[in-house]
Amino acid sequence: MQKRSSVFPLTIIALLFLILIIAIDLIYFTFKAAPGKVTSNFIASIDTMKVSRDTETRPLSQTEIKEIVQLAGQLNTNYITVDTHWDYPEYMQSWINAIHQAGQHVWFRGHPNQWENQNNANGTMTPAQYLDAERRFIQDHPTFFADGDIFDPCPEPEQGHYWENNYGHSWTSNAPNQVTREFNRFLRDATSVADAAFQQSQITGVTTTIRSINSFFATHTDVLERATIDKFGRITIDSYPELNTFQPEQATKARIDEIKNIYNLWHVPIILGEMGYSNQTNVDDATQQAVLKDEFAALQGLSYLDGVNYWVGPGSTTTGGYTYIIKKEQGHWSYRPAANDIAAFYQKKRNL
């Protein structure tokens, strides 16, 4: 009897193996983080501006940094911000290391001193100079970034002195105009420059399309361009609509009305780049907790809310606003009562 050749079944096996490899590759590249994409379903963040930025000329010890990061990370977060100016890379590295070692992602919310003339910087930094500084910052510090991090190339870009120094206080009037078009181009270019620099440095998975802006811009479609929102795929606002409101119901209504108004204008996911209470009045623990508990309950139902960065985590009554939920007493940091409500909100949102 003639022996059957084994070539045919081996060919089938090889073909099936090839198909399997292709399928695995497709799955990998479908889910692999790419520039502009957030790897988590919900961004749950605590902001460290009052300690990672305001102490950059008088740095905290590594022990205290780790203590702060540990407390922030226990609030069911997946992100902790680093707000250090780019001019202090060694201090920034201390915060980055502590956050990554704690299993958290870094949300970068810094910029050069000269952009807002901070820490005795002077002169007017142009958008072109800013983009050059941004490119150099990324290329000079590739080890700062990890897969899943967020790099906001220019948080609160409207605060740059360039706009008012060159075009006056009312540069957003009669928009769209030459200045607002330049402003929007700068927003988009900052993301393009970051993406190119990360690609050149072989850094993947860093989100570059989160740009915190004042809610004024988000509510004025004549100032903020659709092309900018389309590039980002989302809108990120710094939001403090409660003003001097002390009643939970009134504060919550102001917050939800603002967010819904912005969503109805743009119909894209919304991230609260800054949210905290109270930003204007030194409220007691009970008032803060009552307001935030009510606000978080209402925010829970917003399906298009993709993230919240609580501003600020560690702070005090003398370090800008009164929103802090981590306080320092007798040399150690501890929670204010509202921290429990933030943790509960983040846990629910991240489990959806």
What is the pLDDT at residue 4? 39
Assess contact for 164 and 103: CB atoms under 8 A: no
State pLDDT tens for residues 181-221.
999 999 999 999 999 999 999 999 999 999 999 999 999 99
Identify the band that residue 8 occupies on the pLDDT scale cut at 50, 70 and 90. Answer: very low
Residue 44 parent element (H or E): strand 43-46
Cα(87)–Cα(188) distance, integer angstroms: 23
Assess contact for 49 and 279: CB atoms under 8 A: no
Say whether domain 35-350 belongs to CATH 3.30.110.40. Answer: no
Please provide residue 101's backbone torsions phi and psi, each rounded to the nearest 5 degrees. Answer: -65, -25
Work out the mean pLDDT of the chain and round it to a whole number: 91
| Averaged pLDDT, 8-33 | 43
State pLDDT tens for residues 134-159.
999 999 999 999 999 999 999 999 99
State pLDDT tens for residues 224-256.
999 999 999 999 999 999 999 999 999 999 999
* Residue 288 clears pLDDT 70, i.e. is over it: yes
- Between the alpha carbon of residue 171 and those of residues 7, 177, 269, the distances in Å are 75, 9, 28
pTM above 0.85, yes or no: yes
List of residues 6+ apart from 156 with CB closer than 8 A: 212, 213, 214, 238
DSSP SS3 for 307: strand
* Residue 77 clears pLDDT 70, i.e. is over it: yes
* Residue 344 clears pLDDT 60, i.e. is over it: yes
